[in-house]
Amino acid sequence: MTISPLALPFPDMPPVAGVELRVARARYKAWDRCDLTFATLAEGTTVAGVLTQSRCPSPEVEWCRAALTLGQARALVVNAGNSNAFTGGRGRAAVEAIAARVAGEVGCKPSDVFVASTGVIGVPLPIDRAEAGLDAAFAAGPCGWQAAAETIGTTDTYPKGASVTAVVDGRTVTLVGIIKGSGMIAPDMATMLGFIFTDAAVEADFLQRALTAANAPSFSCITVDGDTSTSDTVLAFATGAAGNRVLADDDGIGADAFRAALADLCRQLAHLVVRDGEGATKLIEVSVEGAESDRSAHRIAMSIANSPLVKTAIAGEDANWGRVVMAVGKAGEPAERDRLAIRFGATPVAEGGLAIEGYNEVPVAAHLRGQEVEIGVNLGLGDGRATVWTCDLTHGYISINADYRS
DSSP assignment of 50-114 equals EE---SS--HHHHHHHHHHTT-B-SEEEEEEEE---S-HHHHHHHHHHHHHHHHHHHTS-GGGEE
396, 183 in Cβ contact below 8 A? no
SS3 at position 6: coil
Q: Which amino acid is at 256?
A: D
CA torsion, ordered 355, 357, 362, 365, to nearest 10 deg: -10
180 marked as part of a ligand binding site: yes
- The single-letter DSSP state of residue 3 is P
Tallying the residues shown for the chain, one arrives at 406
273, 385 in Cβ contact below 8 A? no
154 marked as part of a ligand binding site: yes
The one catalytic residue among 45, 87, 157, 191: 191
Q: What is the rounded CA–CA span in Å between residue 226 and residue 245?
A: 42
Q: What is the rounded CA–CA span in Å between residue 258 and residue 173?
A: 9
165, 176 in Cβ contact below 8 A? no
Q: What is the CA radius of gyration of the chain?
A: 22
336 marked as part of a ligand binding site: no
368, 314 in Cβ contact below 8 A? yes
DSSP assignment of 306-355 equals T-HHHHHHHHTT---THHHHHHHHHT-S---GGG-EEEETTEEEEETTEE
> Active site includes 191?
yes
The CA-CA-CA angle for residues 186, 210, 67, to 5°, reads 75
401 marked as part of a ligand binding site: yes
What is the torsional sign of CA 97, 99, 104, 108?
negative
Active site residues: 191
Which residue ranges are tagged as binding site?
154, 180, 191, 278, 401, 406
Q: Which residues are annotated as a binding site for substrate?
A: 154, 180, 191, 278, 401, 406
